[in-house]
Structure 1
Amino acid sequence: MRVTIKDVAKQANVAISTASRVINNSGYVSEDTRQRVEEAIKRLGYVPNSIARSLKWKQTFSIGLIVSDIGNPFYAELAQAVERAARERGYSVLLTNTDSKAAQERDCVGVLAAKQVDGIIWYSPINEELVDEVMENSRATVVVITGKEGHLGHHTIRIDDQLGAFEAVNHLISLGHTRIGYIAEPSDPKFPQERMKGYRRALAEAGLEFDESLVVRGTYQEGSGRKAIKVLLGLEERPTAVFCANDLMAIEAMQYARGVGLRIPEDLAVVGFDNTKLACLHGIDLTTVAQPTYEMGREGAKLLISSITKPLSPRQLLLRPSLVVRRSCGQYLKEGQR
């Protein structure tokens, strides 16, 4: 197995960013710390990978943004927030799309390297080691936006996905639902599993048993919600409510359910996650967990550009989502409203 900068940092008992400064001979590092890192490099036989060597410290006043699916309205809204904040500070944004594929993610890094961007905002990396490679082989600044805990070696904006999912499912339980389906995030461990943790935690705290048959893994992408809800509605004892890991899958689930004669929310309550602009359209009225999309994009750009201007030690910012109640969950029916 290839020795990485993480191994060097752990061996030397320093942060990844400190090890990176020693390897790239950039920024201040005390002589004692530098010696420890250099000794760790020799002991482990560390050899820097060639990837991202072309991300040179030659300022271009441009930054890269890596997202998973530009067809998802959530990412379009995030990109808009990043672009506005960057433009206010004299920077342009180069958008790249991975389609949730590791190989394509690496290609995205290559594109940004070729363009010599000054830094990268990276939404939910598929290959976390690739982030480390970019940091160890270049002086480019990286800000990661994620729902997963960790990422302590670089700037991180984390959304409390587990809390958001917990509140969504807890809300359905408060409306009397005990059989709640979940159209979930992909099972691949490279994807954050915090929303699944929130779903299970809400059930456990309410004294409801976790039923694996009520969980169908989605992909976050178009067509996934339709396939998943078809499975759930085909169960002998179908769920009376469904929580979905994003709005796109939730809206597809609603459309399919209506297509087979079910009423939303009278026959099936639905809750999503993201609060995209589609969620509030008439006829959809989706109850959903609102991610602070504009804030995460704006803060990500601000942090990245500040760090480009003056290198900062790794910073972590935690943002809280909130539940937005609309008609799809059935609360208004319970309150006697139409």
Structure 2
Amino acid sequence: MATIKDVARLAGVSTSTVSHVLNKTRFVSPEITERVQQAIDQLHYTPSALARSLKVNQTRTLGMLVNSSANPFFAEVVQGVEQRCYELGYSLVLCNTGADSNRLGTSLDMLQQKRVDGIIVMCTRVNLTAGDLERHASLPLVMADWGPVDLDADLIQDSSQRGGRLATEHLLRLGHRRIGCITGPAGQRASEERLAGFEAALARAGLAVHRPWVVEGNFELAGGQAAMARLLALPDRPTAVFACNDMMAAGALRALADAGLHVPQDMSLVGYDNIELARYLVPRLTSIEQPKAGLGALAVDALLARIQNPHAPRRILPLEPSLVARESSAPLAI
């Protein structure tokens, strides 16, 4: 493998001149620059990223922790992060935690050993405290959609309670009054806030929450299918259901089809996240949009700002949800 000394020897210049050409740190005449570039091309020389990182104390590499990059929601956010990293000349190291706190800790150790410049954490299903991250206090962090209130890290919030309210208000406007909810796992912030939005919308409409119609899911396809099956087994069914993410809504559609029921004729359905799959389900799914690519880009920009100014006050950056109405929700048939 060619070295910078080989390039300098072939070009007939010093190694410092080659360095100036590569890093554009000093003016070098066009003639010498061309000779250096020809030598680089001839030798197929690639500068050592490790050597540069040791010199400038930056690797231009960011880390990201997610529950599972196979989940369509996380995959779309990761795509936004990768795109922004590419635009800014950064690399990304992605770690899947499997919603396991021990695995998250191991991943944090690995990222710190690799000298990443900062980390984006998007692990809504891992209930951690600032103490769990104490060993990594020197790493700039941005929490996307989750974060201990006592942690000195920027936080991007998805305004889940407002999103849950938007979904429920949409069904109310369509004339539904018997509305159920498939929640995420109890104890998770996103799940509890979306349920709180659901309850707030019903209360504002003067309606009580019918507890048998509130069924816990797990944010996965199978959980949504099982939760909808439990609702359908009730002698007194809702006419509409808000599922707290699109994966559970897709599973709920499967349960409804298995029962010989049609959406929205027999039951209206609203999901949350507006993943790309929502546009391809049958019927196309009404959902609450989270700007996933925007979330990814915002997370990168916030992290780089934190790296540049590590002592700046903590920022909370909200993301506003919106309703995307499609064919899975319709006015109540009288």
TM-score of the aligned structures, taking structure 1 as reference length: 0.76
Q: 1:192 to 1:151 in 2, by over 3 A?
A: farther
Q: 1:142 to 1:149 in 2, by over 3 A?
A: closer
Unaligned runs of 5+ in 1: 1-55
- Letter in structure 1 aligned against 2:317: L
Structure 2 contact 64–95 (Cα < 8 Å) conserved: yes
- 2:314 aligns to what? 314
Q: CA deviation at 1:132?
A: 4.9
Summarize the alignment of residues 171-190 of structure 1 with structure 2, pairs less than 5 Å apart.
Answer: 171-189=170-188
Aligned pair 1:295/2:307, yes or no? no
Alpha-carbon separation, structure 2, partners of 1:190 and 1:243? 17
Summarize the alignment of residues 171-210 of structure 1 with structure 2, pairs less than 5 Å apart.
Answer: 171-189=170-188, 193-210=192-209
- 2:276 aligns to what? 277
Structure 1 contact 86–302 (Cα < 8 Å) conserved: no
Give the match's secondary structure for 2:328.
helix
- 2:35 aligns to what? none
- Letter in structure 2 aligned against 1:306: A
More displaced stretch, 135-144 vs 82-91: 135-144
- 1:329 aligns to what? 329
Structure 2 contact 226–255 (Cα < 8 Å) conserved: no
Alpha-carbon separation, structure 2, partners of 1:189 and 1:108? 21
Aligned pair 1:65/2:80, yes or no? no
Alpha-carbon separation, structure 1, partners of 2:180 and 2:249? 12
Q: CA deviation at 1:276?
A: 0.4
- 1:117 aligns to what? 116
Summarize the alignment of residues 238-249 of structure 1 with structure 2, pairs less than 5 Å apart.
Answer: 238-249=237-248
Summarize the alignment of residues 25-174 of structure 1 with structure 2, pairs less than 5 Å apart.
Answer: 58-125=57-124, 126-129=126-129, 131-134=130-133, 137-146=136-145, 150=149, 153-174=152-173
Give the match's secondary structure for 1:128.
coil
Give the match's secondary structure for 1:95.
strand
Give the match's secondary structure for 2:219.
coil
Aligned pair 1:234/2:226, yes or no? no
Alpha-carbon separation, structure 2, partners of 1:191 and 1:327? 25
Q: CA deviation at 1:111?
A: 2.9
More displaced stretch, 209-218 vs 303-312: 303-312
Unaligned runs of 5+ in 2: 1-53
More displaced stretch, 115-124 vs 155-164: 115-124
Alpha-carbon separation, structure 1, partners of 2:240 and 2:150? 34
1:81-114 C-alpha deviation (Å, 9 max, x unpaired): 0111112222111111122232332232233233
Alpha-carbon separation, structure 2, partners of 1:228 and 1:319? 28
Q: CA deviation at 1:264?
A: 0.5
Structure 1 contact 120–143 (Cα < 8 Å) conserved: yes
- 1:225 aligns to what? 224
CA RMSD across the alignment = 2.3
Q: CA deviation at 1:282?
A: 5.6
Q: Identity of paired residues, percent?
A: 36
Give the match's secondary structure for 1:329.
coil
Alpha-carbon separation, structure 1, partners of 2:283 and 2:109? 40
- Letter in structure 2 aligned against 1:296: L
Q: 1:149 to 1:127 in 2, by over 3 A?
A: closer
Which structure's CA Rg is the greater one?
Answer: 2
Q: 1:270 to 1:289 in 2, by over 3 A?
A: same
- 2:304 aligns to what? 305
More displaced stretch, 162-171 vs 110-119: 110-119
Q: 1:224 to 1:180 in 2, by over 3 A?
A: same
Q: 1:303 to 1:200 in 2, by over 3 A?
A: same
Alpha-carbon separation, structure 1, partners of 2:131 and 2:202? 36
Alpha-carbon separation, structure 2, partners of 1:190 and 1:281? 28
More displaced stretch, 68-77 vs 95-104: 95-104
Q: 1:149 to 1:293 in 2, by over 3 A?
A: farther
